Every structure is written in C-alpha cells, then in structure tokens.
Structure 1
Amino acid sequence: MKKINRYSTKTVLWLGVLALAMLAGSCKKNEGYNTEPVSNDKTKPGVITNIKVDNFNGGANITYDLPNSDNILYVLAKYNINDKTARETKSSYYTDTVKVDGFAAVKDYEVTLTVVSRANVSSDPVKVTVHPQTPFYRLIKPTVTITNDFGGVHIEAMNPNRKEVGVILIALDKTTKQLEVADQHYTNTDTIAYSVRGFESEPTQFGVYVTDKFGNLSDTTVVTLTPLFETMLDKSKFSVYRQPSDSEIGYGWNLPYLWDGKTDGYSNGWHTQPGTGKPMQGTFGIGVLTQLSRIKIWERPLEYAFFHGNPKNFTIWGSAKESPADVVLPQSAPGGTVVGDWVNLSNFRYPNPPSGLTPGFTNAADEKFVAAGVDFVFPATAPPVKYLRILVHDTWGKGDVTHLMEVSVYGKPQ
C-alpha cells in the first residue's frame, strides 16, 4: 500500500464545495441569543482573565473570568482549524466557557478571544494557545481496511466514539485517468463495514480516506485490487420449487411475483397465508449453479416499511442438488449448517430504520431506504447452489405472516 495527499482537480473542487457547504452551517454558531445591539452603552468592555485551557480530541474548552459588567452579551472566539478554514464560536455571558473545535492536527493553534457588549462593542483581543489532542478522523484512519469484493471493494473501519465521519472511496477513472470520488459513506456507527460495487473484474487503483464534518481530510491509502466477478442472475430462469413445508400463499401474492421486477408497493409480491402453523418460507430455483455474492431484497414499502409482515430476522438456505428433498429446517442454526440437501448460506437481520425512529413510526428517509432495496452479503465460504429457500424467523410486526416485493440474486455462475 502507499499513501498520497494528491487528488485530481475534479476531486479537489468537489471537496472544496463540500467544505464550503459544511462551513456555511457551522462556522458561525448562533447559541440562541440575539446578537443585535440591545444597549446604548458604548463603553468598551474589559477583557477576560484567569484563562484556562482543557484540550480534548480535535478541540479545547477555554474557561475564563468575565469582566465585572452587566453590559456583556457574549465572548467571541476566532481561530483557524487548518491552513484554509477559519471558524468562530460564541459563548453567552451566562457561562464561563467557550468550546473551540474542528482542528485538523495535534499542534499549537492560536485562538483570539474578545468580549462583546450589548451595544456590539468589542473588547481588546486576548490571544490564547490551545493544543488539541488527536482529532477523531485521524484516530479512525489507521483502522481502515480495503479489500476486494464481488463487483467492487469492501471497506471496514472502527469508530468507537461514534463520531460523524465520512469514508471516501476514490478510484481510477478510465476517462480522466485520475483518481476520482467513487463513493461517499457518511456514518456515526461504531463499526463501519460496507461494500461498494459496480466495478469490472480487472486490476483497478482504489484509494480511501476519512473526512470529518469540518472538512478535514486524512491521508489517502491507495491500493490496486481486482474486484471479484459478479453478475445479476437472469430472473427469467427463476422457477417455483414448491415443497410441502413451504408456506401457503396468501391473497394471491404468489412466489413468482418476487422476481417480476416490481418494487413499488402497489403491485403484488410474495405473501404468506396467516394461521397455517407452517414456517414462513418459500423455495425457488435460480436456474444455474452459482457461487452467490449477495441477495438484494425489497421489502413491502410505504406504510408497511419496517412494519407488519416485513422480515426482520431470516435465513437463506441453498442446495446444489438437481432435485433437493424437502425437510423442515430449524428456526435457529449457524451459518454453514447442513440439513439434508440444504445448507445454511447465512443468517441475516434487516437493518433498523436509518432515522432511528421506532419501527412503525418511520419517515420519508426510511421509506427511501426501503425503496432502494437492501443488499445482504453471503460469506465467501458459502458453497455454490442452484436452489434457494427464504426462511423468515420473525417480522417487524411480530405476526405469523410475511411478505416481500422483490429479490435480485448476484454471484458467479459456475
């Protein structure tokens, strides 16, 4: 691996726009009090005294004593967080501390503090030096790994403090011959793990770096990887392989609707019949023996998002037999478990609503997430199969009925 700090002109411009957008909303903080003049007293306020600095990751808290005056409105801190970006923060006269943050590195930074009166008159400036500890985006960067995956790359990193960061993937553009931004993944989760697909199975130069909400950028790790071959299987070759243990069909939502290409929520999907006592499952053939990479699932959207019969925990079982025998599969089994002609390819859990809202009280962002479909990745150790069985263990609505709108299956046909 090698590390660089150089980007294409297009990438630099993109980063500049991103930084300006973030700074527009964060550089001049309004702490909730009126900054318009509210006094006719033009007396120049005194300066703060007894200054103390408490450094933390990427910033510092500066405490002080205010001058003895009833005409003070706030304390203003001005500072540069890197070579390009200036910030300012304010702290009202009700407190004795101002927070300065967003610093890019572990080094001395100068902060200028002034007292501002109710008549908008500033005191003489007082300069103080802060020395922030390692910013979180820099702590996260050494944990980043990038490896080849089906159709692209897989990226992992650790963010134990759950800070808002962006993991940015760049890739060599065949047209510009430059490393261009290929994906932007913004998150505050403690464990970062995701895949970016859509690349050819050929040696490709990739790079990854970490950014924070202040526009700071880590160094970039660049590697050359060859994505594993992946293709979406031809759904015209899918077929129902109904077995005695499969669920009864409810409301005319037959299994073939799972691969008719319709995900809008107004068309039919697959829907089981409630009250039968059977497992919530369906079995179908995928037409060709395939080393599976992932399955993309569209649950029932709109008012059903994260609700009713949409699967929450489920297992995908597979079989390589030409005519696999039916068997009642366990509701709980580790991945790789073999039961009769069937192998547990992987156990999955549908993600929680991105909004963080209680399921059943979702918003437009959650509905957009559902409408886009969700990828569930199979382990590389999963064997090639020709038949799939979806076994739903429980649903968001906690009932005995399940439904889905569509599935797409990806992998490498044998």
Structure 2
Amino acid sequence: MKKLLLSFSILLLSAMAISSCSDGDRIDQRGGLPLPQQPKIVDVKSVPGGAVLKFQIPDDPYIKGIVATYERNGAMVESRISRYLDTLMVEGYADLQEHAVEVRSFNADDVKSEAQTVKITPLEAPVNTASFEFFEAFGGFKVKIKNNPTKATLALVVQADTLNADQDLTYEQRKWKDVSTLFMSSDSVMLTRRNMSAVPTVLSAYLRDSYGNTSERQLIKITPKAETELDKSKFKYYPVADDNFVNDPNGGGVAALWDKATTGTGRFFVAAKGCPIPTWLTIDLGVGEEGTVLSRIKTYPRSDYDVFQGGNIRQWEFWGIYDDPKEDLTKNPCAKTDPDYQQRHGFSRGWVMLAKGEQYKPSGYAPDGTVDGWTPEDREYYLYNTEYEVDNTNELTPNAYDKIRYLRLVVVNTFATYQYPATSGAWFIGEITPWGQVNK
C-alpha cells in the first residue's frame, strides 16, 4: 500500500512539472494574463515642481493603468493613474535639474510592461517661489504669504528666541522654542499668531511643502504689541442722530452688550422687528482723550438660542472715530453724491472701518451660503470663540489702527436676512468684548 501511494505521488509531481514546462517557463505571465503593452508618451510638459506626462493607452483590455517610477529626495516613489485617464503628474521636486522617470503600464495582477525612460525638467517649485513677510501685531505677529499661484499646500514653520533677541547670533547659537506651524493652500494669505509676550523676539521661519522640501530659513526681529481687554464698566451708549437701530424693550437694552453676561439666561440686546438692515449703534468706550487702538473684538451671541439661525448676526462691520461723532456728523458729513456713500453707509468722514467679517463656521456653509446643519465644533466656536481681527494690512481697513474713542457696531445682515434679503428685521446679540492698547 505504501509503495502504491509513493508511486501515485511521483506521478502527480511529474504531471505538475510537465504542466509547468508546457508554459515554456514564461515569466511574463501571472494568473494567465499576458505581459502588458507599453504606453505611448505623447507629451511632456514641465510644471512647477515636476511635469505632466500625457499618454496614449494601448488597446489592451488587460491594462489596468500607468505607473511612473522616479527618485525624489533620495527615495524611489511611484505615481499611478487608471487606464481611464491619460495624464499623470510627476511632482515633489524643488530643483531645476533634469530627472529620469520610468514609465510602465500594468495589469490587474500588477505585472508591468517593459520600462520607457523619459527625462523631465521641473519649473521652479512653489516652496521656492512663495515668499513671506512678518508684521508686528497685538499679542504676536501677522505674516503675509504670497506668490503661490498653483495654490500648493505649504507650511510656515516658526520658532522664537526671546532670551537673546538683543544679540547678533547665528541660528545654531540661539535658544529656540517652537511657536507654531501655519498652513496655507492659496495664492496669497495673511495669517496671525497670538499669545506671545510683548518683548523683543527673534523669529526663525521657513516654508515646507508636502514632500519635505524647504525654503531658505529667515531670521526676523519683532516686538509684539501689548494688548488688554478694555474696561467695559466705562462703556456707555452714545446716541448719534444717524444711529438707526430700534430697541426692543423685551431685551436688556444697549447696556446688555457689555454687562459681562455671556452664558445662561443673562441679559442680551434685542433690536425690534422693524429695525432697518443694515443697522448700527454707537458706543462711547470711555477711554478719554488718550483714546485706544483696537486689536480685536470678541462677540458672544444670545446664549444657545437659534444657533446659526434667525436674528443672530451673520455679517458684521466695526467702525471707529476719535472725534465726537455728533460734531463730526455736522462738520464733516458724507454727501449722498459721494462715490463711497453706500459703502460707508453715509457715515460722516471721521469714521474709519476697523474690521469686517462673517460668522465663522468650522465645517463651512453650503455652496449657496445657507446653513445645512452644524457640528459640535461649529456650536462651540459660535458660542465661545467668535472674534473679529482689526487689521490695518487689509485693503478694506487701511486705517484700522487709528486711535479711536467711539465704536460703531454695524449689523450688515442676520442669518434670516442673509438667506432671504430684507431691508428690516429683528436681531440680537449677547455681548461684545474689545481688546486693544489702552493708555492708563
């Protein structure tokens, strides 16, 4: 019996060997699929940081796609496309040198065709063409990043040395602390970093792209401006003849805007249903002749009421003036024939726009601008983290850092009037908290 089993095993192995040999020992087959045909390269176009390869896909039903293999920053990488596409991006270079790229087609078993080699020469990479400029700001710095026309994702890596700011030292000699990594993917953007001490500081900054390429490091010396919360006990409503809001007696009155009640059932300000839209009111900040320069304005909605809905404010403007606005209205009026009359709501010439913004929603609005629900993060931001930055680098607010004594709140629209344009409507707000530079 044992001899019979042994003989059967030998016969089976022999049959398998014969079957294997009958394929001619071909290594171009796997799972029965033939070796893929090579794709035809019809165009090579250099682009920033790489190149775009265009192909003609062979008439081969077994081809699944095209793969390009190339060396980048010392490592071999692949870029793949399916057979239904005809262009492939080779990317991630930060030089202007010629690079070799091997191109192959592959089938469903990932068996690849013979390689074709194509040479590419990238254009200047975004990490090298983009530039940045730092500006001193309240509680930190602002940095403008520009010249990124391809909208590549870039990170600005920032470190700070506050211990040796007065010394002329190299990067290696300084005591660095990580400050932040700021991300951008637009042609031009202004970013802000706060919570820094108002002391001389040397910053180290460079750009980094998604492939690990970096720009040249720059050292910048700044001194962040000190900021403090304004003393709201000195605020009072200052009735000016062109204020157009209509108070609803069911609310807490204008003083509810600065009573420090931001949660629960605390008082809040309500404008009546017939209130014009846009609408505004004026506040005497109580800062005296020294005035103040504002840095940001934090807002709180009516506590947890109609979140992202109804009469809650969607778009704001904040204006400021140093001179008495009652006198300015008489001595320095804005004529209806002036080209900027509508833009400045007819405000007298002493008023300057400090900030303009829309209620931020972390998850974003629907494509048509409407609210299609909200997340817990949206609600958290809406209730506790909404603020508007005063920025004199914005082309809309070049005089934002002018010294002021009076603040005008302008409600451009609410969530109700944004979606359904109207010239009047009710609105409400819980609290405002301005920050800035106050001379005591």
1:201 maps to: 198
User: How much has 1:223 moved relative to structure 2?
Assistant: 0.6
Q: Which moved more, 1:274-283 or 1:310-319?
A: 274-283
Say whether 1:248 aligns with 2:238. Answer: no
SS for the counterpart of 2:255 is helix
* Aligned-partner Cα distance in 1 for 2:388–2:415: 18
Say whether 1:385 aligns with 2:375. Answer: no
Question: Structure 1 residues 49 and 402 mapped into 2: Cα distance closer, same or farther (>3 Å)?
Answer: same
Matching of residues 265-414 of structure 1 within 5 Å: 268-276=267-275, 280-289=279-288, 290-298=291-299, 300=301, 303-305=306-308, 308-319=311-322, 332=342, 343-346=351-354, 348-350=356-358, 355=364, 357=366, 358-362=368-372, 363-364=374-375, 367=379, 370-371=382-383, 372-377=385-390, 379=392, 382-398=401-417, 399=422, 400=424, 401-414=426-439
Q: Any idea what the Cα deviations from partners look like across 1:317-339, whole Å, max 9, x if unmatched?
A: 33465x9669698774669x755
* Aligned-partner Cα distance in 1 for 2:117–2:78: 14
Question: Structure 1 residues 42 and 356 mapped into 2: Cα distance closer, same or farther (>3 Å)?
Answer: same
Question: Structure 1 residues 271 and 191 mapped into 2: Cα distance closer, same or farther (>3 Å)?
Answer: farther
Question: Structure 1 residues 276 and 306 mapped into 2: Cα distance closer, same or farther (>3 Å)?
Answer: closer
Question: Structure 1 residues 49 and 383 mapped into 2: Cα distance closer, same or farther (>3 Å)?
Answer: closer
Contact 1:80 1:87 in 2 (8 A): yes
2:220 maps to: 223
Question: Structure 1 residues 173 and 367 mapped into 2: Cα distance closer, same or farther (>3 Å)?
Answer: farther
2:47 maps to: 56
Question: Structure 1 residues 71 and 265 mapped into 2: Cα distance closer, same or farther (>3 Å)?
Answer: farther
* Aligned-partner Cα distance in 2 for 1:278–1:112: 63
Q: Any idea what the Cα deviations from partners look like across 1:266-317, whole Å, max 9, x if unmatched?
A: 7553321121559723333334344223232336378543864415252423
1:147 maps to: 135
The residue type paired with residue 402 of structure 1 is: W
* Aligned-partner Cα distance in 1 for 2:316–2:280: 12
Question: Structure 1 residues 202 and 130 mapped into 2: Cα distance closer, same or farther (>3 Å)?
Answer: same
Contact 1:75 1:92 in 2 (8 A): yes
Say whether 1:81 aligns with 2:72. Answer: yes
User: How much has 1:145 moved relative to structure 2?
Assistant: 0.9
The residue type paired with residue 251 of structure 2 is: G
Q: Any idea what the Cα deviations from partners look like across 1:378-410, whole Å, max 9, x if unmatched?
A: 548544333322133444533433333332212
Contact 1:310 1:403 in 2 (8 A): yes
* Aligned-partner Cα distance in 2 for 1:162–1:270: 46
TM-score, length-scaled by structure 1: 0.74
CA RMSD, Structure 1 to Structure 2 (Å): 3.8
2:104 maps to: 114
* Aligned-partner Cα distance in 2 for 1:215–1:403: 48
Q: Any idea what the Cα deviations from partners look like across 1:12-65, whole Å, max 9, x if unmatched?
A: xxxxxxxxxxxxxxxxxxxxxxxxxxx832433343345642211122122344
Q: Which moved more, 1:279-288 or 1:175-184?
A: 175-184
The residue type paired with residue 34 of structure 2 is: T
Question: Structure 1 residues 263 and 70 mapped into 2: Cα distance closer, same or farther (>3 Å)?
Answer: same
Say whether 1:69 aligns with 2:60. Answer: yes
* Aligned-partner Cα distance in 2 for 1:390–1:283: 7
Contact 1:299 1:311 in 2 (8 A): no
Q: What are the ranges of 5 or more consecutive residues in structure 1 without an aligned counterpart?
A: 1-38
Contact 1:74 1:91 in 2 (8 A): yes
Contact 1:280 1:402 in 2 (8 A): no
Q: How many aligned positions are there?
A: 371
The residue type paired with residue 377 of structure 1 is: V
* Aligned-partner Cα distance in 2 for 1:146–1:98: 37
Contact 2:161 2:202 in 1 (8 A): no
The residue type paired with residue 308 of structure 2 is: A
When you count strand as a share of all residues, which structure comes out higher? 1
SS for the counterpart of 1:218 is coil
Contact 1:257 1:268 in 2 (8 A): yes
User: How much has 1:377 moved relative to structure 2?
Assistant: 0.7
Contact 1:305 1:360 in 2 (8 A): no
Say whether 1:257 aligns with 2:247. Answer: no
* Aligned-partner Cα distance in 2 for 1:221–1:193: 18
Question: Structure 1 residues 42 and 197 mapped into 2: Cα distance closer, same or farther (>3 Å)?
Answer: same
2:80 maps to: 90
* Aligned-partner Cα distance in 2 for 1:164–1:299: 35
The residue type paired with residue 234 of structure 1 is: D
* Aligned-partner Cα distance in 1 for 2:161–2:310: 41
Question: Structure 1 residues 136 and 312 mapped into 2: Cα distance closer, same or farther (>3 Å)?
Answer: same
Question: Structure 1 residues 285 and 162 mapped into 2: Cα distance closer, same or farther (>3 Å)?
Answer: farther
2:186 maps to: 189
SS for the counterpart of 1:284 is strand
SS for the counterpart of 1:397 is helix
User: How much has 1:252 moved relative to structure 2?
Assistant: 1.2
TM-score, length-scaled by structure 2: 0.70
Contact 1:41 1:119 in 2 (8 A): no
User: How much has 1:146 moved relative to structure 2?
Assistant: 0.8
Q: Which moved more, 1:234-243 or 1:285-294?
A: 234-243
SS for the counterpart of 2:226 is coil
Question: Structure 1 residues 64 and 394 mapped into 2: Cα distance closer, same or farther (>3 Å)?
Answer: closer
